[in-house]
A and B are shown apart, each in its own frame.
Chain A
Amino acid sequence: MASSDIVQYQTPLRKIGNILIGVFLAIYLVWTLLTFLMMFVSSLKDLLEAFKLPAVGDWAGVTMFFDFTPTLRHYENLFLDKNFGTYMMNSIISAGGSAIISVVLGSMCAYALSRTEFRGKKDLLFWIISTRMAPVVAVMVPLYAIFRNFELVGTLPGLILAYTTFNLPFAIWILKGFFDNVPYSIEEAQMCDGANRFEAFVSILPLVAPGIGAFLILCVLFGWNDFLFASIIGSGGAKTLPVATKELVQPQNIQWGSIMAAGVVTTMPMMFLGLLVRRYLVTGLTMGAVRE
């Protein structure tokens, strides 16, 4: 609200401007939501209905889009024939497992980094964050070779480790910011009262708990949405939802209805979780460089 509370006079020109702004916002909003609407509606459409299009330029024909009998058979197909229950479980385990490991190790490390000074700390921090900036494809070439040696390819532990490559640096970097905001005097007071240093550490955890919880969710989001690692490292035994969805695209037979249904299944939980941690989203996606 930078300047809106300074009285503005509704000159005719301004009125027109406001209307134009409103129209622009509406168009952008429709554009944002249309893809979701299309995905959702198409997941309920039968094959024939999904492929119906009005003639080019027949704007009135757009109503055709909503003219269908909804069916749940694509969802049934996914879970009854296509084993999506298993893939969903794989997604939950790999994304959740990596998130938990990253946040536990990350908060320990972040806490210590926030409370101590040493030479080369800056370099250490840069190294940590640089591992998260590395292109996934570039990291994957050697990681694949190494994981093959350790027989981790196609396993859930392998996938969890792979996700940890981008989740752990992120957790350290962000959580350090949270611990920096907690004054040391709180722990000090605890220790004067006879708490040992571990108890002192535990005593400040409630203060950072909301942040830690939010970053747990963000780590889950990153793992859940990952495709490249899952398709290479997880190929074989540890298929996740995005990979399974992509596999519904086959050269001869693209099962669009099922793909859209799988898209809904993959997107919905993360949409919910993502909006839950909305406040931390900027911090998370920008590696803490910008806070809201």
Chain B
Amino acid sequence: MQTTLTNGIAEGQLTNAAKLANVSKDQFRMSNGIRVIDYQPTSRHAAPSNRYYLWLILPAVIVLACITLYPFFWLIWMSFHKVDMMRGDIWNNFANWRRLLGDRSFGNGWYLLLKYSAMCMIMEVGLGVLLAVILNRSKYEKALVTLFLMPMMMAPVVAGLVWYYLYNSTFGWYHWLMQSAGILGEKSILGDTGTAMWGIVIVDVWQWTPLIILITLAGMKRVPRDQLEASMVDGAGDWRNFFQITLPNLYPFLLIAILLRFMDNFRFIDALLVLTGGGPANSTKILPTYLFDVSFQFFKLGRGAAIALTLLLVTIILGMILVKVFESPAGKVNQEGN
């Protein structure tokens, strides 16, 4: 019944031992006198039964189903209909889906979303790993990390507004800074199709590089010391140590970080909505922004549903990869300690 309750012996160990002895688990248990605590009640109270657990699980699952599963099926329904709040939904013969095929904004949205995510990711991971390596050997690690964390606590929409102010081409200090440094000509950062994407990427980098730093630092604490020491004894320098031992040990962490940031770029568009709203000339209209416009500016909820489903599909695939990484032997990052 309760599988994990073997007198302090982990289930896995038991399985292995049974395999070695070439008998079934139960036989092994019995022949070796390992008492399985199936909990024979000594008091008048019954042992926790599966039904007891079911009652604990159920409320959360019902609430979740109501607010996610139900909307999900509703989303599928909507994608096949012309959604009309007044007259009810009308079947429109896959028109929502067919429109996507010829929809240039849709394709462009995907392209821009991937471009935006990739740009953010390259900068965040590069900067984040570099900073984590530095911080890991710094005396002031704790204090610095605390300060670096601050952007993550700011509401993305507030971050967007403050940066929007600082990017302003007539009174924005960041604009002035960049012009003075000779990086930017007469252009305004968010008003120019060539630089607007950079404008939003930099805000994302500012806000979320700390997360990469944190994950990398957590990963670096798990790099086996004996490997590092062995390689030191072999005369490897810092660089070789980093590339041959630290970095390979960090891969699962980095992969998790990258997948999460990708999903978050799909998830949140708060800062972007404030900064450019998709403009200028659609140069930053990444798919979620386009979806937002279709659904809540033009109120084409049916078409929005079709777009949303494509976005969901890709996110779910990313999520499945994430869970696989997380469960794979190489990615057993969750198991040790807390």
Interface residues of A (CB under 8 A from B): 1-4, 6, 21, 24-25, 28-29, 31-33, 35-36, 38-39, 42, 50-54, 56-59, 65, 101, 105-106, 108-109, 111-113, 115-118, 124, 126, 128-131, 133-146, 148, 161-162, 164-165, 168-169, 172, 177, 181, 184-185, 188, 191-192, 194-197, 221, 224-228, 232, 241-242, 245-246, 249, 256, 259-260, 262-263, 266-267, 270-271, 273-275, 278, 281-282, 285-292
A169 CA / B64 CA spacing, docked (Å):
8
Query: Are the C-beta atoms of B147 and A136 separated by less than 8 Å?
Result: no
Residues of B within 8 A of A263 (CB): 154, 158, 161-162
Residues of B within 8 A of A192 (CB): 42-43
Query: Are the C-beta atoms of A135 and B162 separated by less than 8 Å?
Result: no
A108 CA / B225 CA spacing, docked (Å):
39
Residues of B within 8 A of A224 (CB): 155
Interface residues of B (CB under 8 A from A): 2-5, 8, 37, 39, 41-43, 45-48, 50, 52-54, 56-57, 59-61, 63-64, 67-68, 70-72, 74-75, 78, 83, 85, 127, 131, 134, 136-138, 144, 146-159, 161-163, 165-166, 170-171, 173, 176, 179-180, 206, 210-211, 214-215, 217-221, 223, 225, 228, 232, 238, 241, 246, 253, 256-257, 260, 263, 266-270, 273-274, 288, 291-292, 295-296, 301, 304-305, 308-309, 311-312, 315-316, 318-320, 322-323, 326, 333-334, 337-338
Residues of B within 8 A of A52 (CB): 171
A134 CA / B270 CA spacing, docked (Å):
15
Query: Are the C-beta atoms of B134 and A292 separated by less than 8 Å?
Result: no
The answer to whether A286 and B158 touch (CB under 8 A), given A139-B71, A143-B67, is no
Query: Are the C-beta atoms of A51 and B154 separated by less than 8 Å?
Result: no
Query: Are the C-beta atoms of B70 and A134 separated by less than 8 Å?
Result: no
A38 CA / B8 CA spacing, docked (Å):
57
Query: Are the C-beta atoms of A130 and B316 separated by less than 8 Å?
Result: yes
Query: Are the C-beta atoms of B155 and A270 separated by less than 8 Å?
Result: yes
Closest A-B pairs by Cβ, 10 of them:
A138-B308, A109-B60, A112-B56, A274-B153, A142-B71, A225-B155, A227-B157, A112-B53, A142-B74, A131-B68
CB distance from A274 to the nearest CB of B (A): 4
Query: Are the C-beta atoms of A146 and B71 separated by less than 8 Å?
Result: yes
Query: Are the C-beta atoms of B50 and A118 separated by less than 8 Å?
Result: yes
Query: A134 is contacted by which of B301, B312, B333 (Cβ under 8 Å)?
Result: B312
A251 CA / B316 CA spacing, docked (Å):
38
Query: A32 is contacted by which of B148, B179, B266 (Cβ under 8 Å)?
Result: B148
The answer to whether A172 and B60 touch (CB under 8 A), given A143-B67, A242-B155, is yes
Query: Are the C-beta atoms of B334 and A292 separated by less than 8 Å?
Result: no
A182 CA / B315 CA spacing, docked (Å):
33
A61 CA / B203 CA spacing, docked (Å):
25
Query: Are the C-beta atoms of B158 and A133 separated by less than 8 Å?
Result: no
Query: Are the C-beta atoms of B165 and A256 separated by less than 8 Å?
Result: yes
CB distance from A33 to the nearest CB of B (A): 7
A151 CA / B267 CA spacing, docked (Å):
25
Query: Are the C-beta atoms of A228 and B305 separated by less than 8 Å?
Result: no
Query: A291 is contacted by which of B42, B274, B292, B334 (Cβ under 8 Å)?
Result: B334
The answer to whether A116 and B50 touch (CB under 8 A), given A271-B153, A281-B152, is yes
Query: Are the C-beta atoms of B131 and A290 separated by less than 8 Å?
Result: no
A8 CA / B288 CA spacing, docked (Å):
50
Residues of B within 8 A of A117 (CB): 2-4
CB distance from B269 to the nearest CB of A (A): 7
Residues of A within 8 A of B72 (CB): 142
CB distance from B258 to the nearest CB of A (A): 11
The answer to whether A36 and B150 touch (CB under 8 A), given A191-B47, A289-B260, is yes
CB distance from B96 to the nearest CB of A (A): 12
Residues of B within 8 A of A267 (CB): 153-155, 158
Query: Are the C-beta atoms of B60 and A292 separated by less than 8 Å?
Result: no
- Identify which of A36, A137, A246 gathers the most chain B CB atoms within 10 Å of its CB: A137
Query: Are the C-beta atoms of A141 and B39 separated by less than 8 Å?
Result: no
Query: Are the C-beta atoms of A2 and B136 separated by less than 8 Å?
Result: yes
Query: Are the C-beta atoms of B148 and A292 separated by less than 8 Å?
Result: no
Query: Are the C-beta atoms of A290 and B334 separated by less than 8 Å?
Result: yes
The answer to whether A138 and B136 touch (CB under 8 A), given A32-B151, A109-B60, is no
A31 CA / B123 CA spacing, docked (Å):
15
Instruction: Give 10 new A-B contacts, CB below 8 A, not counting A4-B137, A36-B150, A57-B179.
Output: A25-B144, A32-B206, A184-B5, A197-B48, A228-B269, A263-B161, A266-B158, A282-B218, A289-B256, A290-B215
